[in-house]
Amino acid sequence: MDNIVSIVENNIFDGDTLNFAVADRALDKIATHSVDYADIYIQQGIYETWHLDESMVKSGSFSTRQGFGVRAVSGEKTAFAYADNLDKNALLNAADAVSKIGAQGQSARVRVQTASPKESLYTQDSPIKSMDALQKVALLYKIDKETRAADVRVKEVNAVLAMKYEHIWLSRFDGRVHADIRPLIRLSLNVIVEENGRREQGSAGGGGRYTMDYFTDEKITSYIQTAVKQAVINLSARPAPAGDMTVVLGSGWPGVLLHEAVGHGLEGDFNRKGTSLFSGRIGEKVAASGVTVVDQGNIPNRRGSLNIDDEGNPTQENILIEDGVLKSYMQDETNARLMKMPITGNGRRENYASPTIPRMTNTFMMSGSYDPQEIIESVDYGIYAVNFGGGQVDITSGQFVFGTSEAWLIEKGKLIHPIKGAMLTGNGAQTLKHISMIGNDSALDLGVGVCGKEGQSVPVGVGLPTIRIDAGLTVGGSQV
């Protein structure tokens, strides 16, 4: 990681426009006032995206962006300023602006050794440079050709290939200096099939903090098979039943329900403000026995992983719920300080123009002991939600609604036929209490998750084992 610090510093500081002395002067302006926390966050990024539609690569974009954000925190007050350049005068003016937040009296700073992990969780190589433009275009055309060849009913193929490569440099008012190099890739595939005038769609994709060689022939084939299979299954789907019934959730991406309905409610700011259903409930039983929920930002190469969070704190495994008991919240420095709780490495921001807030990284439920097939066979009547589409949640009430993209009717322990239009509604806190069986197949999604909060979007991972939920979920369908 010391090598990463050197690489990023040499890339960002040119000696004239911006250098260490200017950054230190900016923090000194803030440190002359009484603040609980302050930092300068500098980011340089390269971004590239290619779109395929109607068997043509219709667009490609390449952009660079750089800038800084200056932040000072005093109590619950935050002052924040940013600029879309690395001009030293802009940085000093921003420091002047945010320094007004506190009163006189902050002690001087001393630059200290970085506290970053010894080894990076992911490659330092640029995914954008790992494959040239012609190869990227050829990859998309290959996906189109193979997808259409997979089934004669395929009518439309849409694929998006996105890459980014960012250098992050952070200087804190306590003298700590950190840096990170963050690659990220994502391939999204959407397929539309048609039969007898009926059209249905399926989707798949993946990615993570890799270079482009991650997308092997085997992975591409698996994405195509998954998307086409989902679309074809939906061709024979019947209207979903409606009412309160037993629901089985599949492993992997259905963890997005856990992320939205439970994960956000365990972020520190909502709990400090008392707006979460989990506020003040540390040590209480909030879920069924056997339910263990973890947020872990240090899993190698995962989409939601970071060497350090955006305040310079190493990411880690945080056990949020253990065997049904609430153990902790996810914290950035400000909320941890105000709540007198440990910092958990969950301070995140979308970019230099955004202030840091508590955010999830890779959030998932741990495995249980049941075989997934055993869970399905235990259900007399209900639905099996294999995959999800969109959803939303109200943090204050915990109420959520999610649509399924692939689901099946279960009768007497067997999958009878696929169903269409199933919407799951419920309350996150209540749903946790009605989990009766947990599968031994916990898995993270394939690397496509994006989380939105307060207007900021960040990459995340979600995960779940196959689980049986006996009550607390209502299936909204057209067939009573």
pLDDT tens by residue, 416-450: 999 998 999 999 888 999 999 999 999 999 999 99
Q: What CA–CA distance (Å, rounded) separates 94 from 82?
A: 7
Nearest to 325 by CA among 433, 248, 431, 398: 433
**pLDDT tens digits, 106-157:** 434 444 445 456 689 999 999 999 999 999 999 999 999 999 999 999 999 9
What is the predicted pLDDT for the residue at 118?
67
Q: CA distances (Å), 395 to each of 74, 120, 263, 279, in order?
A: 26, 34, 10, 11
Are 480 and 474 in contact by the 8 Å Cβ rule? The answer is: no
What 3-state class would DSSP assign to 55?
Answer: coil
Give me the sheet containing 293-296, strands edge to edge: 325-326, 317-322, 293-296, 362-365, 461-464, 443-444
What is the predicted pLDDT for the residue at 111?
44
DSSP string, 344-364: -S-EE-SSTTS--EE--SEEE
pLDDT > 90 in the chain, percent: 76
Per-residue pLDDT band for 477 (boundaries 50, 70, 90) equals low
pTM for the model stands at: 0.93
DSSP string, 272-313: HTT-STTTT-TTSB-S-TT--EEEES-STT-TT--SB-TTSP
Q: Which value, in Å, is the radius of gyration of the alpha carbons in the chain?
A: 24
Read off the pLDDT of each residue in 356-378 and give the average, rounded to a whole number: 98
Residue 51 token pair: 């779109």
The burial of 352, by beta-carbon neighbours within 10 Å (0-12 exposed, 13-18 middle, 19 or more buried), is given as buried
**pLDDT tens digits, 294-309:** 999 999 999 999 999 9
Q: Which domains, ranges and CATH numbers included, belong to the chain?
A: 2-235 (3.30.2290.10), 239-476 (no CATH)
Per-residue pLDDT band for 345 (boundaries 50, 70, 90) equals very high
What is the predicted pLDDT for the residue at 331?
98
